[in-house]
Amino acid sequence: MKIAVLRFPGTNCDYDVAHVLSKILKVPTKNVWHRTFKERDFSAAILPGGFSFGDYLRAGAIASHSPAMDEVKKMAKSCKPILGICNGFQILTEAGILPGGLLPNENLRFVCKWTRMVCRNSETSFTTRVQLDDYLHMPVAHQEGRFFIDNDGLKALESGRQIVFQYVDENGRLESTVNPNGSVANIAGICNEKRNVVGLMPHPERASEALLSPFRDNDGLLLFQSLVDNIGGS
């Protein structure tokens, strides 16, 4: 078992993710420069947050053309787990590995705050430790986090149970007031049809130690524990 944490020019959350995996969960982890990444060397890959290539054009657009993404596509096809966090989610949509796209926040401002999400699919490579309809607290920090997909695409996500997380209020309602970016259907994260690729805007690595959370929990750690469970000794 070895997990790759990809680094692009402008990536800035790679060491945070590697800390959770290597220091807290004690699993072999390597920060890998995007030009040298080879999927055959790893059991899973994480595309962390940051500002790949300065987010010129659209966020994640330039990184999506890196040779590393050809390797990520091979990994996705072979059902190895892939997680895209924030900018990593943007890259996965720009590369066509996940459907939809991430647009500028509805208020056109950078948003940095804690959010409350509900889990809509507990059968992905990153949510098997999360109960269906459980609530999780994780922070967001982005300016282009508004998930968008057309009506037909949204229906496909719903029928395929590819919506993984949605922003909700304290009563579990999909209110616009708790949607930090204006995402369609309050979507915070989705998966591919095979359930091995997940993208989300909130940062689980920043919610993996109770010390960091105002809620005194470590909900984000559940995603990484699920990953370790699913790759086992591979």
Domain membership flag for residue 193: yes
What pLDDT does 233 receive?
A: 55
Which residue carries 């699919």 as its tokens?
A: 121
How many domains does the chain contain in total?
A: 1
Domain that holds residue 224: 3-228
Domain membership flag for residue 32: yes
Contact indicator for 155, 149 with CB cutoff of 8 Å: no
pTM: 0.97
What pLDDT does 132 receive?
A: 97
205 is catalytic: yes
Contacts of 48 (CB under 8 A, 6+ apart): 5, 6, 11, 13, 14, 16, 17, 85, 86, 87, 88, 205
Residue among 39, 71, 86, 137 flagged as catalytic: 86
What pLDDT does 38 receive?
A: 98
What pLDDT does 56 receive?
A: 86
Identify the CATH number of the domain in which residue 192 sits: 3.40.50.880
Mapping DSSP to helix (H, G, I), strand (E, B) and coil, where does residue 71 land?
A: helix
Instruction: Using 70 as the pLDDT threshold, list the residues of the chain that sit under it.
Output: 233-234
What pLDDT does 232 receive?
A: 82
Domain membership flag for residue 196: yes
Domain membership flag for residue 190: yes
What pLDDT does 52 receive?
A: 96
What pLDDT does 135 receive?
A: 97
Domain membership flag for residue 234: no
203 is catalytic: yes
CA distance 84 to 67: 17
Domain membership flag for residue 143: yes
What pLDDT does 185 receive?
A: 98
Domain membership flag for residue 204: yes
